[in-house]
Amino acid sequence: MSAVEQKHVTADEAGMRLDRWFKAHYPGLGFGRLQKLLRTGQVRVDGKRVEASTRVAKGQMIRIPPLGVELPADDKKNAKPKSTKLIADDRKAIEEMLLFEDNQVMVLNKPAGLAVQGGSGLKRHLDGMLDAFTDRKGNKPRLVHRLDRETSGIILVARTRQAAQELTKSFRHRNTRKIYWTMLAGVPKPKQGRISTFLARSEAEERMQVVRQGDDDAQHAVSFYSVFEQSAQKLSWVTMKPVTGRTHQLRAHAAHIGHPIIGDDKYFNIENWELPGGIQNRLHLLARRIVIPHPSGHGKIDVSAPLPPHMQQTWNLLGFNASDYDPEADDPDETVIKR
């Protein structure tokens, strides 16, 4: 595409987040690139600057600058289709990840190393694999949220647009309980607490950094944590609960309090710290459990994911038993660690 385009939001697209609208129309456009286009005002809705989380309405006009990415979704009929074998392989891989499924929702256990969405140089990612579940009407399951590529654990997928809207609404209104398991360097003090900061993306380092309120692109981020087990003063098994859903939030918050996540190549900031023998230098972060109202309006979805192999190896080495954890155990107190 070599010129600016203007596209109207259709009735079927009303209520979609802007980033998901772009993902549907321009699958080759990475989330980071979209964020930059939004920050610089190159993407606008009805002539106004907007954010990735902005929800579009029927009839609104979206300004699209030259992107230089893959064909838009409308032109996919001209693109080379996936082979039958690749579709079958993707379907089998998704089925092996399934933790829960009904006619509205799929809950998957994403392995570490699998990207959730496409980006530069990525040929295989979860969103693309979900093409294997597209029905005869062309309806494809929709991702409801994201995990970092190296984070393992629970991902929610909506099987219908209505389910996607209801699940997204639960995230937006914070009616969702998310619990992460992680292994941190050292032992946080106090052992239970609340971390409150403002985060902004550092383009140069491709990571989030703690900034002051009012700084450019600063977004408030709140997390709770609780130490469950520790190995002397060297390592600690910590549960973390994000209240907000910022990019790399838990990773940035763990580093901010001086106890970064083991294996985090972006945020581990302790000089001359040696990894204990037998522990793999991979990100020790698991999206362990989610509790969210079912999109039907009846009951709740409550699903837990097992430890991935590299984390299970660490738990075994340290003598920690995942089955000892009571998911309804004491929540962190209101001690505030903030800047």
CA-wise closest residue to 117 among 177, 33, 230, 194: 33
Could you give the count of Cα atoms lying within 13 Å of 122 in the half-sphere of its Cβ?
20
Both tokens assigned to 4: 């600016």
Q: Judge whether 162 and 175 are in contact, CB under 8 Å.
A: no
Residue 253 burial (CB < 10 Å; 0-12/13-18/19+)?
A: buried
Spot the catalytic one: 148, 216, 264, 326.
148
Whole-angstrom Cα Rg for the chain: 21
Contacts of 20 (CB under 8 A, 6+ apart): 142
Residue 206 burial (CB < 10 Å; 0-12/13-18/19+)?
A: exposed
Angle between helices 31-39 and 18-25 (to 10 degrees): 120
Contacts of 258 (CB under 8 A, 6+ apart): 186, 188, 270
User: 93 to each of 87, 89, 130, 136, how far by Cα in Å?
Assistant: 10, 6, 10, 21
Long-range (24+ apart) CB contacts under 8 A made by 301-305 are 301/100, 301/105, 301/107, 301/156, 303/99, 303/100, 303/107, 303/154, 304/99, 304/154, 305/99, 305/109, 305/152, 305/153, 305/154
Both tokens assigned to 110: 């994403």
Residues comprising the chain, all counted:
339
Decide if 148 is catalytic. Answer: yes
Secondary structure class of 320 (helix, strand, coil) = coil
Q: Which residues are catalytic?
A: 148
